[in-house]
Chains A and B, each alone.
Chain A
């Protein structure tokens, strides 16, 4: 089946650790996005990428890093510099501007 796969579904991070969230899509989409969702709030854009080996910061990029070495993959690393990382993280992809955007099922990250 075509779609977007995020893993893991649940992740716990200790203070000072870096963790990486995986996002894979088999929709042959060029653009991929990472959003963060906090309770009672809308989605906020962390990073996005329109082509391989290129990505841009979104509105809340501090403390996060990404890579886009393959069209299908757009992993997000939450670094120790992100002081409040507990949130629901959503990955998305889109074929062209103006088309429907598709979301993965999300990953819950909790700091312990």
Chain B
């Protein structure tokens, strides 16, 4: 059974710092990996999608990498801003289902 783990569970950084969020998964036979953002009491917004054949994806200040063989992905956020404060979740697609990690709660202090 696929299991997804995110480290750290929570992170607090000053504004302007670069930061890395980690995601690991136990079964490397994935179709793709996605990173999401969730604001309190809201639904999820997709940030980046990496297909299993890709190594990374970039969108603005966000960069996500995928190492399928080691079962790891990282989300890099450059020059963090208070508006980046949210919960970040990663999810892997196995077959027809997305399996989620518990998320990393990020707080960027101004």
**A interface residues (Cβ-Cβ under 8 A, vs B):** 4, 6, 31, 33, 35, 40-45, 48, 50, 56, 58, 88, 90, 92, 97-106, 108
Complex A-B: 8 CB contacts under 8 Å: A42-B101, A43-B98, A48-B96, A90-B43, A92-B44, A97-B31, A105-B43, A106-B41
Interface size class of B (residues with CB under 8 A): 20 to 34
State whether A104 touches B102 (Cβ < 8 A).
Answer: no
Q: Please, which residues of chain B bring their CB within 8 A of the CB of A58? A: 97
How far apart sit A98 and B53, CA to CA, in the bound complex (Å)? 11
- Residue of A50, A92, A103, A104 ringed by the most chain B CB atoms within 10 A: A103
Q: Give B19-37 interface residues, CB cut-off 8 Å to A.
A: 31-32, 34, 36
Interface residues of B (CB under 8 A from A): 4, 31-32, 34, 36, 41-46, 49, 51, 89, 91, 93, 96-103
B34 touches A100 (CB 8 A): yes
B105 to chain A, nearest CB (A): 9
Question: Assuming the A-B contacts A42-B4, A45-B97, are A100 and B46 also in contact, with contact meaning beta carbons closer than 8 angstroms in the complex?
Answer: yes
Chain B residues near A48: list those with CB within 8 A.
96-97
Out of A43, A102, A105, which one reaches B100, CB within 8 Å? A43
Chain A residues near B93 (CB-CB < 8 A): 97-98
Name the A residues within 8 Å of B97 (CB-CB).
45, 48, 58
**B46 to A31, Cβ gap below 8 A?**
no
Chain A's closest residue to B32 (CB) is A98
Which residues from B are CB-within-8-Å of A102? 46
